[in-house]
Amino acid sequence: MGVPWLDHLLLGFLVWLESKLIDNRVRVELNEAIKEWETLQPPSIQPPVYTEKPSDTSTRLPEMRLTAPWYIDTYDEK
């Protein structure tokens, strides 16, 4: 056994060093995995679809819509 306060100081330093090394390794591995995934997946963000329908009367404004490209309008007027 050594000096208790020195042992605790050394233990605290080793725990701090281990946490920094683990955090750094995780950060590097995660960044590499993200970069690899981005190269495998091409960006496929499609712009929204803008549609405009004329109104029934001349005083109303036309109906304007922004929808996702994969949305299919199945509204049935009755």
Q: What angle do CA 7, 8, 11 make, to 5 degrees?
A: 85
Over 80: is that where the pLDDT of 75 sits?
no
pLDDT tens digit string along 55-74?
Answer: 776 667 777 888 887 777 66
pLDDT at 23 over 80: yes
pTM, 2 dp = 0.47
Q: Which of 31-40, 42-51, 67-76 has the lowest mean pLDDT?
A: 67-76
pLDDT at 50: 86
